[in-house]
Structure 1
Amino acid sequence: MLQTVATRVRSAPPLLVVLGLYALSRLVSSAWLGGLFALATTRGWEFASHRSDPGFASFSGSWDASFYRTIAQQGYPTELPVDGRGRVEPNPWAFLPVFPMLVRGIAAVLGVDLAGNSFFAIGLVVATIAGGGAAVLLHRIVAETVGAPNALWAVALFCFGPTSFVLQVAYAESLMLLLVFAALLMMIRRRYLLMMPFAVVAAFTRPGVLALALGLAVTGVVRFARGAWGARGVRGAGGAWAGRRAGTARGAWAARGAPGADSARDGFGRREQVSLVVTGLVVAAAGLAWPVVADVVTGRSGAYLDTELSWWVGFVGRQHFTPLTPWFVMATTFLGVAGAVVVVGVLAAVAWFFSRRSTRSLGIEVWSYSAAYVLYLVAVFLPQQSLPRLLMPIAPLLGHPAIAPSPRLRRSLLVGGIALQPVAVVLLWFVGYP
């Protein structure tokens, strides 16, 4: 029977299979969320987040979603809240406007008041739909780089992952994933100008779009170098990125690992170079724009950075921000010198992973974007319980060639993801926060 089901799945249109997987995964996540909510309500468990109007919708939109609701209802404050010593306290400026304004627009069309649980209910629907779109785009990204079997397993692991319930709560995550994956797909297809609108909107949905700009820059350098090396008949590092398999928007390329193609075969002409550079500059500007907006509206220099640092206080106290130090600050605060050693070890392991030929076989676009996004997290993010969900934008790495061919590995990852979901819900909703 299982063989019959597998045969039918393989013969079904990929879009239907992906959407079917996503729908099944939402049932699983809903069962975990709903079951734990019901259990907590009947047993009188204390929720980690305060909710003035308790219900399943507000339970699904705990913590950060309350800031999104405030933005949808009131907009952003023109004056930052401060404590008795004039230090900025947590406030809505840490959250970007696209998701709450989208929910607000839908509520206006429907004639729904955003008071009470209405924001959370609409936000849940918006997030769930966006998550389905993200799953479809993730499948296309992996299918066009390493093949359909890897793509289907990447989607399954993405949809059933330990923090995949975030795809259906009133957070901006799933909308951000939809936009970023759309931009990345356009980058893979070399339609750089079409990448721009998705990336710009993503820049005002959640932080992290600078990784797309850096990934695009690396892609441009590699493509240019590959053309130069190919024109000279030289085998070099550019050859490691020499082409994708058949089935991409631009047709079949040479097999991976072949010598670099010349400029004509690579097709990286002047017009395409200009479109890549323009798109990269626009995306980078969009990624840096929100702090400027916060400064202008509040009249306070460093308004956004001070707001972000206010969330650090409960972990490491008041800090001055220095790029590339947050992981070390967090680790040494709790583990001392041993913490710094642990961070160095983790970063070395990550560097080794990205240096592997198997990882590079995902293609220069996926490789460069994913590496840039990890670099972004290391540069600016204080690692804590939000880290697992913040790693979801590098889901294209789930198409890694080591996963799909190994039944034991892929099944272990799938079962582990499903089993860890209730653990994550308990930890994040009843102990900490997502």
Structure 2
Amino acid sequence: MTSVAEPTRASRTGTRLRALLHGRHSGWTAPLVVWAASRVVSTVLLATMYLVATANGWHFASHREHASFLTFSGSWDASAYRTIAEHGYPTTLPTDAAGHVLPNAWAFLPVFPALVRALMTLTGGSFWAVGVAVATLAGAGACVVLYRLVLAVGCSHRARWATALFAFAPTGFLLQVAYAESMLLLLVFGGLLALVRRRYAVVGALGVVAAFTKPGVLALAVAVAVHLVVRWVRASRGQEPFPWRDRVPVLVVGAVLAAAGLAWPVVASVVTGRPDAYLDTELSWWVGYVGRQHFAPLTPWFVMAGTWLGPLGIGLVVVVLAAAVWFWTRRSVRALGPEVLGFTAAYGLYLVAVFLPQQSLPRLLMPMAPLLGSDAFVRTRRRAVTWLLVGVGLQPVAIVLLWFLGYP
């Protein structure tokens, strides 16, 4: 008589892990497994670079009085958030001898440092410990909500792989350093998910908080406008109802998000008494790249490319923009739904309109992560695995280039 062997502990563990990753549990377990694995990878890479840099005396921008891995994880822009958390915003803008505004805290929005400050008071922890903890937990939330967003507009295969590509991306290490990025991603992905599910009050609440976390929430207002138009057209064709009890909230939420997205420059001007306080602060970071400039929408990419590469750079920008238009018009991208399409396209236009492209561009592209659910990245398992390996392979390169040679 043939006996059936008992499954080994290893095989049972493997079966459970496959069940988790293939979504046969709740909608949060699989993305949290992906997030946890990605944090192991990013932590090992960051810790390795920290040890190598410390042993060789490399310069980096972390606090050196009490050098540690936590202070290392609070480098670069995190130092500005620390200043805001501990001292608030200046009422007088710093200027040079010629009266030009110098880089200062008004370029950074208040939600992340305010939350960190509150938790520092409650726990007695340092900015670095609390800031890293808040950012890391928000990164976990961003993975969960991204998974649910792509699941809502696609399928479990796309949701799993989009989340993995996001968490293991070259800039994935930023989901655990004391930046506001992971909090913005959590809020924006949550706002988009709520919009897809037609929970308009939630869209408004998350969007307003996001508007004071980092710039770019006007793209969410555009997504609301696209959603409005799509529902209105479908209603006019008799495809689905669009009653006024839905129309009014959509209109109100869109207007509120637009106002919130434009509010921070007004706040800066009122507090400092300078009408262009925020704009002059942002332009102060341009000086080292393109000299002192007057701002004109839709010109920064051409200014940067023309300054460094001349006519070739201008042509390169045109090619990049044409490729972006081609990408957003692909059927697989449009299949992600009008909300995702509207938000990501509007956010890309926002970057082209106001942002001077430099080494922080990869970080600023992170809100476009819902696009990772398209066929371009996850149509087949082989394609998804290839992109995953590319992301993991480039992450240590990004850490060296951005965390040591530049700043993300």
TM-score (norm 1): 0.88
Whether the aligned pair in 1 keeps the contact of 2:20 and 2:33 (CA below 8 Å) is no
Give, in angstroms, the shift of residue 14 of structure 1: 3.6
Give, in angstroms, the shift of residue 106 of structure 1: 0.4
Partner deviation per Cα, 1:57-113 (whole Å, 9 max, x = no partner): 12111111111011011110000000000000000000000000100000111134x
The reply to whether residue 109 of structure 1 matches residue 122 of structure 2 is: yes
Residue identity opposite 2:171 in structure 1: T
SS in 2 for 1:82: coil
Give me the whole-angstrom Cα distance separating, in 2, the residues matched to 1:154 and 1:272.
31
Give me the whole-angstrom Cα distance separating, in 1, the residues matched to 2:25 and 2:222.
37
Whether the aligned pair in 2 keeps the contact of 1:60 and 1:170 (CA below 8 Å) is yes
Give me the whole-angstrom Cα distance separating, in 2, the residues matched to 1:49 and 1:302.
31
Change (3 A) 1:268 1:401: farther
Residue identity opposite 2:229 in structure 1: V
The reply to whether residue 92 of structure 1 matches residue 105 of structure 2 is: yes
Q: Of the candidates 186, 189, 196, which is equivalent to residue 194 of structure 2?
A: 186
**What are the within-5 Å matches in structure 2 for residues 251-262 of structure 1?**
261=239
Q: Name which of structure 1's ranges 396-405 and 73-82 shifts more when overlaid on structure 2.
A: 396-405
Give, in angstroms, the shift of residue 176 of structure 1: 0.6
1:27 matched residue in structure 2:
40
Give me the whole-angstrom Cα distance separating, in 2, the residues matched to 1:190 and 1:398.
23
**What are the within-5 Å matches in structure 2 for residues 335-414 of structure 1?**
335-414=309-388
Partner deviation per Cα, 1:112-160 (whole Å, 9 max, x = no partner): 4xxxxx1011100000000001100001100010111100001000110
Give me the whole-angstrom Cα distance separating, in 1, the residues matched to 2:91 and 2:376.
51
Give me the whole-angstrom Cα distance separating, in 2, the residues matched to 1:53 and 1:82.
30
Partner deviation per Cα, 1:361-417 (whole Å, 9 max, x = no partner): 000111101111101111101111111111111111111134333223211110111
Change (3 A) 1:53 1:304: farther
Give me the whole-angstrom Cα distance separating, in 1, the residues matched to 2:177 and 2:40.
13
Give, in angstroms, the shift of residue 3 of structure 1: 8.1
Residue identity opposite 2:119 in structure 1: I
SS in 2 for 1:403: helix
Whether the aligned pair in 2 keeps the contact of 1:49 and 1:433 (CA below 8 Å) is no
Give me the whole-angstrom Cα distance separating, in 2, the residues matched to 1:407 and 1:223.
34
Give, in angstroms, the shift of residue 287 of structure 1: 0.6
1:43 matched residue in structure 2:
56
1:221 matched residue in structure 2:
229
Partner deviation per Cα, 1:295-321 (whole Å, 9 max, x = no partner): 000001100000000011111111110
Whether the aligned pair in 1 keeps the contact of 2:63 and 2:72 (CA below 8 Å) is no
1:254 matched residue in structure 2:
none
Q: Of the candidates 169, 187, 203, which is equivalent to residue 177 of structure 2?
A: 169
Change (3 A) 1:404 1:313: same
Whether the aligned pair in 2 keeps the contact of 1:99 and 1:205 (CA below 8 Å) is yes
Change (3 A) 1:9 1:65: closer
Give me the whole-angstrom Cα distance separating, in 1, the residues matched to 2:18 and 2:269.
55
SS in 1 for 2:165: helix
Q: Name which of structure 1's ranges 11-20 and 180-189 shifts more when overlaid on structure 2.
A: 11-20
Change (3 A) 1:18 1:348: same
Identity of aligned residues (%): 58
* Matched residues, number: 395
Residue identity opposite 1:377 in structure 2: L
Partner deviation per Cα, 1:31-50 (whole Å, 9 max, x = no partner): 00001100111122222667
Residue identity opposite 2:143 in structure 1: A
2:89 matched residue in structure 1:
76
Give me the whole-angstrom Cα distance separating, in 2, the residues matched to 1:395 and 1:9.
19
Give, in angstroms, the shift of residue 215 of structure 1: 1.4
Residue identity opposite 1:314 in structure 2: G
Q: Of the candidates 2, 21, 32, which is equivalent to residue 9 of structure 1?
A: 21
1:128 matched residue in structure 2:
136
SS in 2 for 1:78: coil
Give me the whole-angstrom Cα distance separating, in 2, the residues matched to 1:111 and 1:61.
17
Q: Of the candidates 45, 54, 64, which is equivalent to residue 77 of structure 2?
A: 64
Residue ranges of structure 2 left out of the alignment (5+ in a row): 1-10
Residue identity opposite 2:78 in structure 1: A
Change (3 A) 1:73 1:28: same
Partner deviation per Cα, 1:199-230 (whole Å, 9 max, x = no partner): 000000000000000111122112212322x2
Whether the aligned pair in 1 keeps the contact of 2:101 and 2:284 (CA below 8 Å) is yes
Give me the whole-angstrom Cα distance separating, in 1, the residues matched to 2:25 and 2:235.
40
Give me the whole-angstrom Cα distance separating, in 2, the residues matched to 1:394 and 1:309.
24
Give me the whole-angstrom Cα distance separating, in 2, the residues matched to 1:42 and 1:189.
51
Q: Name which of structure 1's ranges 415-424 and 81-90 shifts more when overlaid on structure 2.
A: 415-424
Whether the aligned pair in 1 keeps the contact of 2:372 and 2:378 (CA below 8 Å) is no
Q: Of the candidates 145, 151, 158, which is equivalent to residue 166 of structure 2?
A: 158
Whether the aligned pair in 2 keeps the contact of 1:184 and 1:365 (CA below 8 Å) is yes
Residue ranges of structure 1 left out of the alignment (5+ in a row): 113-117, 232-260
Whether the aligned pair in 2 keeps the contact of 1:127 and 1:171 (CA below 8 Å) is yes
TM-score (norm 2): 0.94
1:211 matched residue in structure 2:
219
2:390 matched residue in structure 1:
416
Whether the aligned pair in 2 keeps the contact of 1:69 and 1:100 (CA below 8 Å) is yes
